[in-house]
């Protein structure tokens, strides 16, 4: 089974993805946006969130959900440091001595960590062992039709320090100014999850785990997505720049084989996805399409998808 979710969220005054600092100035991630003016293309820069940032947040939720269901998570991933068995140093924490056969290496990693099972890894030693992530996530970009209204503006802040009498400046209060660039936009992103990849070898196609554990891991992967979206816990600086707004729309498609909802950065994404799913129906495939716009809340659409997957025996 394959799950694809299109998400639209409104974020006012957010600092969800900061990329660099220049002195006391923290910059928001931005991407070029091409607009046509008088028949010529010009570039404007709009705020964005990288897929890496969203993927990191999802995997943090996956750690919590997996542990809550009594599933194994390796020490690195428990600390939200997703090194993913990238070399001998990290792999030895899971299996020592390290086997020569790539199949045995994959088995050792998948058995000992749900995050590396679902999120993939690349053991970059000899022999190299690679496992693609079972989930895919796009950049979060401003919705096209209103992208030119997206802004990123620096906000001035001051940090104060009380200087004592031993300091050079005597007993005066000091302040330090700094700027945080805040973005405001209606964002859209796409998230896909290939449930059939979980617990199955990317070398032999054979299941590495027993069926019950595979199903529990799938449940953890779905719960993590539910939690991430429902709690709006993704991105950086949430403690002081928690975005004002929230998820406005969600479109969830569940299909037997890979299928991606039309990106929510396009205004017609729901209608187009529906039409495309009808074609799959014509090819003899069952599907579920749940949409939360207007009265329905995102959690209801996500729950509908989870109920459908449970009925289908996915978990």
Q: Please state whether beta strands 173-194 and 135-137 pair in parallel, antiparallel, or not at all (unpaired).
A: antiparallel
Shortest Å distance, C-beta 107 to other proteins: 14
Q: Which listed range, 81-89, 110-118, 166-174, 296-304, lies at the site for other proteins (CB under 8 A)?
A: 81-89
d(CA 95, CA 149): 52
| 87 interacts with other proteins by CB under 8 A | yes
The 128-167 site mask, x for binding other proteins (CB under 8 A), equals xxxxx---xxxx-x--x--xx-------------------
Q: What are the Cα distances from residue 305, in Å, to 9, 45, 97, 309, 310? A: 19, 36, 43, 6, 9
- Interface residue with other proteins among 9, 114, 262, 290 (CB under 8 A) is 262
| 75 interacts with other proteins by CB under 8 A | no
Nearer to other proteins, 125 or 299 (CB): 125
| 102 interacts with other proteins by CB under 8 A | yes
d(CA 125, CA 88): 7
- Interface residue with other proteins among 156, 158, 177, 283 (CB under 8 A) is 283
| 99 interacts with other proteins by CB under 8 A | no
Pick the closest to residue 120 from 216, 209, 194 (CA basis). 194
Subset of residues 30 to 49 that bind other proteins, contact rule: CB under 8 A? 31-36, 41, 43, 48
d(CA 240, CA 26): 14
Pick the closest to residue 224 from 110, 79, 122, 71 (CA basis). 71
Nearer to other proteins, 244 or 279 (CB): 279
- SS3 labels along 248-314: EEEEEEEECCCCCCCCCCCCCHHHHHHHHHHHHHHCCCCEEEEEECCCCCHHHHHHHHHHHHHHCCC
| 68 interacts with other proteins by CB under 8 A | no
Nearer to other proteins, 131 or 227 (CB): 131
d(CA 315, CA 211): 9
Shortest Å distance, C-beta 174 to other proteins: 30
| 85 interacts with other proteins by CB under 8 A | no
Q: What are the Cα distances from residue 117, in Å, to 64, 142, 201? A: 15, 31, 9
Residues near other proteins, by CB under 8 A: 2, 19-20, 29, 31-36, 41, 43, 48, 50-52, 81, 83, 86-87, 89, 102, 127-132, 136-139, 141, 144, 147-148, 189-190, 192, 194, 196-197, 200-205, 257-263, 265-266, 272-273, 276, 279-280, 283, 285
């Amino acid at each position: 089974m394959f799950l694809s979710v299109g998400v639209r969220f409104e974020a006012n005054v957010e600092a969800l993805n900061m990329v660099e600092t220049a002195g006391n100035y923290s910059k928001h991630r931005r991407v070029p946006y091409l607009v046509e003016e008088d028949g010529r293309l010009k570039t404007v820069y709009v705020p964005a969130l990288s897929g890496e940032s969203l993927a990191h947040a999802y995997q943090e939720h996956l750690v919590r959900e997996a542990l809550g269901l009594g599933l194994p998570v390796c020490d690195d991933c428990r600390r939200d440091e997703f090194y993913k068995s990238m070399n001998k140093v990290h792999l030895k924490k899971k299996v020592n001595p390290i086997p020569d056969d790539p199949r045995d290496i994959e088995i050792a990693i998948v058995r000992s960590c749900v995050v590396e099972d679902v999120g993939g890894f690349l053991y970059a030693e000899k022999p190299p062992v690679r496992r693609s992530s079972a989930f895919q996530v796009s950049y979060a970009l401003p919705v096209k039709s209103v992208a030119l209204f997206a802004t990123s503006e620096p906000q001035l802040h001051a940090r104060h320090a009380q200087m004592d009498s031993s300091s050079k400046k005597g007993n005066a209060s000091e302040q330090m100014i700094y700027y945080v660039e805040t973005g405001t936009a209606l964002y859209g992103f796409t998230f896909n999850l290939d449930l059939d990849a979980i617990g199955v070898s990317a070398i032999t196609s054979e299941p590495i785990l027993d069926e019950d554990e595979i199903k529990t891991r799938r449940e953890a992967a779905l719960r993590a997505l539910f939690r991430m979206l429902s709690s709006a816990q993704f991105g950086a600086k949430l403690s002081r720049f928690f975005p004002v707004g929230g998820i406005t729309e969600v479109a969830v498609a569940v299909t037997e084989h890979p299928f991606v909802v039309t990106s929510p950065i396009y205004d017609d994404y729901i209608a187009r996805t529906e039409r495309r799913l009808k074609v799959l129906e014509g090819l003899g495939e069952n599907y579920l399409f749940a949409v939360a716009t207007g009265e329905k809340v995102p959690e209801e659409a996500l729950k509908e998808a989870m109920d459908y997957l449970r009925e289908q025996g996915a978990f």
